Amino acid sequence: MYVKNTKEILDKANKGYYGVGAFNINDLEFLQPIVSAAVEKASPVIIETSEGAMSYAGDGDFRRGAKILADMVKTLANEADVPIALHLDHGHDIDHVVAAIQAGYSSVMIDASAKPYEKNLSLTSEVVKIAHSAGISVEAELGKLVGIEDNVSVSERDATLVDPGEAKDFVDRTGVDFLAPAIGTSHGAFKFKGEAKLDFDRLRTVKEFTKMPLVLHGASSVLPRFVEEANKYGADIQGAKGVPYDILKESVKYGINKVNTDTDLRVAFIAELRKTLYNDKPQIDPRKLFKPAMAAIKEVVMERMEVLGSVGKA
Ligand code: G3H
Ligand code: 13P
Ligand code: ZN
């Protein structure tokens, strides 16, 4: 069932101490296996689209793309007997936020984390006013998404990661519904140079101060089996490293409820697609090439639902 307000899903996860996967899509090839995984695992799920996904789906017109994506998600969600929400990921301006709201998204993210604190606060407050009047929820971000390096000093860490005191002030003054605190993850397939680690003390303090659903961006695990397969069949993604499952589980234990995942789906899809192209050279039917890649996405999503504890929580 299509959920009009993502807050319903995340408030429940916050009370029940589990995480819900938020998976990025651009097209039906990613959406279909995610929905199918949620149904099979009786799990709630959040589908998200970036501004780039909106433009891609609308062939350059993000408003049209938002409508196409939302119609597609609502159609599949309404046939499924699990809660499914649609979220705008990393909205950077009011135009994209309004396009998502008008298309019927369940929530929006306003990401002004690169701006000075007071600017982030005022833009987020403006988005909260617009979104709440439409009955949908808002996510915002504090701090910068960079990996924790071994030799980084405490003061350098304080300068990039979330400041828990600021998080409390930000939440109180903006009325935002979920917060993404930077605690040492980064986007993409190369998250850590050395050992994977996150700042759990910081996460625990943010949770204690805000008590709200928290979001982990850059949460892909970059599964070695798919990285190896992709490289075997011609890719060049050497040295890729993600957030291991035990660290994801710990993040959920300390208060993360929305777990953003894009890279894992990309890597699994590309690995399987490369393998199929290599093994079935005469094949020219894209559906036959995409099917195994879509199955790999379903496998990754189901595995993450187990890790995050959302199985059976529909
Ligand atoms: O965090 C960003 C997501 O992975 C979406 O990336 O802007 O390339 O669609 P994108
Ligand atoms: P990954 O690159 O780790 O999949 O992160 C995705 C994300 O944070 C989307 O907002
Ligand atoms: Zn992100």
For ligand 2, pick from 261, 266, 267, 269 the residue to mutate: most ligand atoms within 8 Å of CB.
Answer: 261
Domains of the chain by start residue, with CATH: 6-308 (3.20.20.70)
Q: What is the pLDDT of residue 148?
A: 74
pTM > 0.85: yes or no: yes
Identify the three-state secondary structure at position 138: strand
Q: Which residues neighbour ligand 3 (ion) by CB within 5 Å?
A: 217, 260
User: Span 283-293, mean pLDDT?
Assistant: 98
Rounded mean pLDDT of 242-263?
Answer: 98
Mean pLDDT computed over 165-175: 98
Residue 47: band (very low, low, confident or very high) from pLDDT cuts 50, 70, 90: very high
pLDDT-based confidence at 153, cuts 50/70/90?
A: confident
What mean pLDDT do residues 146-151 have?
74
Which tokens hold the place of 247? 């660290």
Give the integer Cα–Cα distance in Å for 113 and 91.
11
Name the strand (E) or helix (H) holding 147. Answer: none
pLDDT at 4 over 80: yes
Ligand 1 pocket test target in 215, 262, 264 with most atoms within 8 Å of CB: 262
Ligand 2 atom nearest 243 alpha carbon = 3
Question: To the nearest whole number, what is the mean pLDDT of the chain?
Answer: 97
Of 90, 111, 113, 139, which is best to mutate to test ligand 1, by the most ligand atoms within 8 angstroms of its C-beta? 90
**Phi/psi of residue 177, nearest 5 degrees:** -95, -35
Give the atom of ligand 1 at the shortest distance from the alpha carbon of 53: 9
The Cβ of residue 194 has, within 10 Å, a number of other Cβ atoms equal to 11
Dihedral pair phi/psi, residue 259, rounded to 5°:
-120, 100
Instruction: Kindly report the backbone phi and psi dihedral angles of residue 93, in degrees, each rounded to the nearest multiple of 5, phi listed first.
Output: -145, 165
pLDDT at 273: 98
Ligand nearest to the CA of 50: 1
For residue 151, is pLDDT > 80?
no
Tokens for 209?
């101060």
Ligand nearest to the CA of 219: 2
- Cα(63)–Cα(53) distance, rounded to whole angstroms? 11
Q: Is 82 helix (H, G, I), strand (E, B) or coil?
A: coil
CA 279–ligand 2 middle distance (angstroms): 30
Within 10 angstroms of residue 133's Cβ, the number of other Cβ atoms is 9
The backbone torsions φ and ψ at residue 163, rounded to the nearest 5 degrees and listed phi first, read -100, 115
C-alpha 152/C-alpha 141 separation (Å) is 22
Ligand 3 centroid – CA 43 distance (Å): 22
- At residue 147, the pLDDT reads 77
Coil, helix or strand at residue 15: helix
H or E, element range at 245: helix 245-253
Q: What is the number of other CB atoms lying within 10 angstroms of the CB of residue 6?
A: 29
Q: pLDDT by residue (tens digit) across 202-251?
A: 999 999 999 999 999 999 999 999 999 999 999 999 999 999 999 999 99
**CB-CB contact of 178 with 214 (8 Å):** yes
Question: How large is the average pLDDT for residues 7-20?
Answer: 98
Residue 152 pLDDT exceeds 80:
no
89 belongs to the catalytic site? yes
Beta bridge partners of 179: 140, 214
Q: Which ligand is nearest to the CA of 49?
A: 1
Residue 176: pLDDT over 80: yes
**What contacts 244, CB < 8 A, 6 or more positions away?**
196, 221
- Round to whole Å and give the CA distance between 109 and 218: 15
111-141: per-residue pLDDT in tens?
999 999 999 999 999 999 999 999 999 999 9
159 pLDDT more than 90: no
The predicted pLDDT at position 6 comes to: 98
Which stretches does DSSP call E strand in 25-143? 45-49, 84-91, 107-110, 137-142
- pLDDT band with cut points at 50, 70 and 90 for residue 188: very high
Give the confidence band of 180 by pLDDT, cuts at 50, 70, 90. Answer: very high
Query: Which residue among the candidates 11, 27, 61, 89 is catalytic per the annotation?
Result: 89
